[in-house]
Structure formats: structure tokens, C-alpha cells
Amino acid sequence: EWFVPGGTVFKNEPRTDAVHRVANEELGEPVVIDDCLGTYEHFYETAAADSVDSKHYLATGYRCHFDRDDPEIGGDDQHSAFQVFRPPFENLHPYVKRYLDDR
């Protein structure tokens, strides 16, 4: 399944600064924020921590576009692949589908 770039907001870091930092780290390109889609709850029945059987976190979705017309998307070691999607959307994680439905 495909998911969107994302990450942690650091202490004292404005959320929009986190969007720009994560885009640079995970995509290798700066973005321009178009708007905030709102806050989403994510519930998972698995977790990476020992003796923890689930996780719940809040994600704030943003609609962005690349700063340049010809971005050179580099990515990082967190992702096995990167792909740009256009409608109709297929093989997306259900949480990503919610972001796209709200755009």
C-alpha cells in the first residue's frame, strides 16, 4: 500500500515548519503549502514497541505542491519507492484515501 510523507513535529517546531522539513528530508524537494486539510486519527492494531499491541496517533494533513516545476524527487531510506498518483486512485492506504477525499 502507498502512504504519504510524514513525520514527527519536534518540540517548539511549528507544524508548517515540520511540513517543510519533512518534505526536504523525505522527498528532497521544497514544497509550498496550499492548505490544511485538518486533523485525522489513525488507529493501528499493531505497534513497533515491545509489549504494545496497538497504536493511535493524530496526523494533520496538508495539501502542498512542489516549489519547482521540475522537482528532482530523491527520497530517503525510509521508503522503498516513490510515486506520483493521479485519479483514479488505487492501492492506497485507507487513511490516505481519506486525505484525498478531503482535498
pLDDT interval class at 2 (50, 70, 90): low
Over residues 41-100, the pLDDT tens digits come to: 989 888 888 888 898 988 899 999 999 999 888 766 766 677 777 777 777 888 888 887
Q: Which residues contact 27 (CB under 8 A, 6 or more apart)?
A: 5, 71, 73, 74, 75, 82
How far apart CA 8 and CA 58 sit, in angstroms, is 10
